[in-house]
Each structure stands twice: as structure tokens, then as C-alpha cells.
Amino acid sequence: MGNHSIFQTISAVRILADTNGGQFHPQNCLPNSVRAVRVSGNAVRTHQRNGNVPSRKEPYSIPTLGRMRAGLPGCHPHLLARHAVAPPTPATRLRHSSTRTIQRQVIQERIRPQESPIPMTHGIGKRQALKEEDEEQEEEEEEEEEEEEEEEEEEEEERSRLGSCEAIRARRRTRNWRRRRRRRRRRRRRRRRRRRRRRRRRRRRRRRMRRRRRRRRRRRRRRRRRRRRRRRRRRTRTRTRTMMMMRRRRRRRRRRRRRRRRRRRRRRRRRRRRRRRRRRRRRRGEEGEGRRG
């Protein structure tokens, strides 16, 4: 590498292999095996440092410098380490993850920032979401009222300007009137589009919230099921004679209970039928006696 400046090196560097195979050096928080290619004219030479440990003159490794020069996020050496935790800033949410996932997260958040870091399912987040929805509804209502008022005012102005039907027809033939009509129509279209977009955004937000809730519920259920299954497996792993005997007894008890229940149901049904028959017979007998007399 020599004593030439770092930035000359960086300007002629391509990063080939990154953190795939290489472990992380715990002392300096840098990848342990990183390869770069130095391009000078037609000659292409691969360069690998001894363990990629930075020296006193060049405190950063080649890929780190390349990233810094390119302005990529997660380029600082303490962000490259898996075991290192970044400072708690909203821009970089890093939780013991590798460099590539870190970069993706940061890039995504730079491109389109997340709507709100607070979960919207309960507590403060839910209140915040409800407040936002109320505010949006109020704004929409106000806009609609303003639009209606403007339209009414324009119509009144036209009527006041043009008294008779003939004057109105003559006015409609002019260019200015046509231009105004086009503008009005454009405004209306824009307003409709905005409303549709807002509605779509709201629907998407609600869907996201529902999906998150469903996923959380499913995860919780799965965890509970797994725990239950593990417990059951532990119980049934060791099959001893006593266990087998206990099972047989349980089965016998269950069978007896079922038989008893069935017998009781049958008896109840028979009793009910007998009672109904007796009632019918009594009614018929009473009616018959009355007719005879």
C-alpha cells in the first residue's frame, strides 16, 4: 500500500467482497477479511491486508474508506461491527445486525421516513393516531365547505353580471369564460385526486395496523402452542409401566362417564315422551266427555 495518501487509494478502489466470509475483529470493530481491487490504468491488482487491521497512518480499512467517500450510510467503523450498538438516534435504528441490513434500514429511512416510531396499537400511539385522523377529517370538511362557498360565490357573481338568458349565452361564447371554466374543472379534478390519495393513505395505514396486530397475535399464539407442545413432549417421552397403567385408568373412567351420560339422556327423553303422551290422552278424553254430555 505504501506511504501515499489514503484518498488516492480510495479513488482507485472497488469493493469486491464485503462481510460475507469474514468475521469481525473485536478490537477495532472492522471486518477481519476484506478484499479490494486497486485499479491503475490497465493493471488490476488485488490487495489484501494482513488481517485488515488498520495502521496508525491509515486508521480505516479500504471498504470503509470507499463507503465514506461514496457517502453511504453505516460507513463509520463502529457501525460496521455486529456486536457494536449504534447511538440511539431515530435515523439509524440498529439492533445487533450486520452491515448490509443496517445500510438497507438507513437508506430506506432516508428515502421515505417512517410515519411514526410509536406503535399505533395501544396507549400513546393509539391516541396520536386517533388525533391525526380527527384533524384530517376536520381539514377535509373545511376544504369542502370552502370549495362549495367559492363555487356559490362565482355563480352569484355570474348571475349578477349577466341578467338575461341572452346575455349569459353571449358571455359563454367569449374566451375568458371558457378559460375560467377550464380552470374550475382542473381545480375540481385536483381536489378529487387529493381526496382519493388521502383516503388511500388512510386505508393503507389502517391495513398496516391490522396486519401488525394480526401478526403479533399469531406470534403470541404460536409461542404459546410451542410451549404447550414442549411440555406435552416432555411428559410423554419416558413411557413407564405406571404411566401406561394411569392412561388405561383414565380411558376407562372416560368411557364410563360417556356411558352414564348417554343412559341419562335416553331416560330423560323417554320420560318426556311419556309425559307428552299422557297430556295428549287427557286432553282428548276431557274433550270427548264434554261432547258426549
Strand residue runs (E) in 76-137: none
Q: What is the rounded CA–CA span in Å between residue 198 and residue 136?
A: 9
- Answer yes or no: is pLDDT of 95 > 80: no
Q: What local confidence, expressed as pLDDT, does residue 66 receive?
A: 63
Pick from 121, 133, 81, 123: nearest CA to 102: 81
- The CA distance from 190 to 204, in Å, is 21
Alpha carbons 245 and 97: distance in angstroms, whole number: 52
Convert 198-215 into a string of H (helix), E (strand) and C (coil). HHHHHHHHHHHHHHHHHH
Query: What is the spatial distance between Cα 198 and Cα 204, in angstroms, rounded to a whole number?
Result: 10
Contacts of 84 by beta carbon, 8 Å cutoff, 6+ apart: 29, 78
Q: Binning pLDDT at 50, 70 and 90, where does residue 131 land?
A: confident
Predicted confidence (pLDDT) per residue in 140-163, tens digit: 888 888 888 888 888 777 777 666
Instruction: Collect all residues with Cβ–Cβ distance below 8 Å to 118 and sequence separation of at least 6.
Output: 124, 125, 128
* Tens-place pLDDT, residues 228-260: 766 666 555 567 888 888 889 999 999 999 999
The number of residues making up the chain comes to 293
